[in-house]
Structure 1
Amino acid sequence: MPPSDSAPVRWRKSSRSGANDSNCVEVAGLSDALAVRDSKDPDGPTLLFTRHAWSSFVADLRRC
């Protein structure tokens, strides 16, 4: 996580994921962005998106 974000990061999975399902992405809200990671590799790379970019992505998914 970016060092400028000092609050603890709370990762969450989709409510459609099963409790033991590890084939998911997890999302965490940061102060000025959203972080996304692979639930199978929580210490691996993290993608950061602006809130606007994430909202546009989700809106596009809903149109599919």
Structure 2
Amino acid sequence: MNAEAVGIRESVSFHMAHGQFDASGRLLDPGPADTAAAALLRQLAWWARALRTARTAQTYPA
């Protein structure tokens, strides 16, 4: 099956999650997750702009 999707390399994950959060569900050290989320969103925005430009220039073939 082809999903006709592009991949984004970055991800936000929580290794050993049981020790990453306090009793109210907040991250004990949000720095790494914030950095990963920022990278993921930069890549997503790049792909969104690139694909919008490409789709404007030429219709995706069916």
TM-score by length of 2: 0.32
Q: Which has the larger radius of gyration?
A: 2
TM-score by length of 1: 0.31
Which structure shows the higher strand fraction? 1
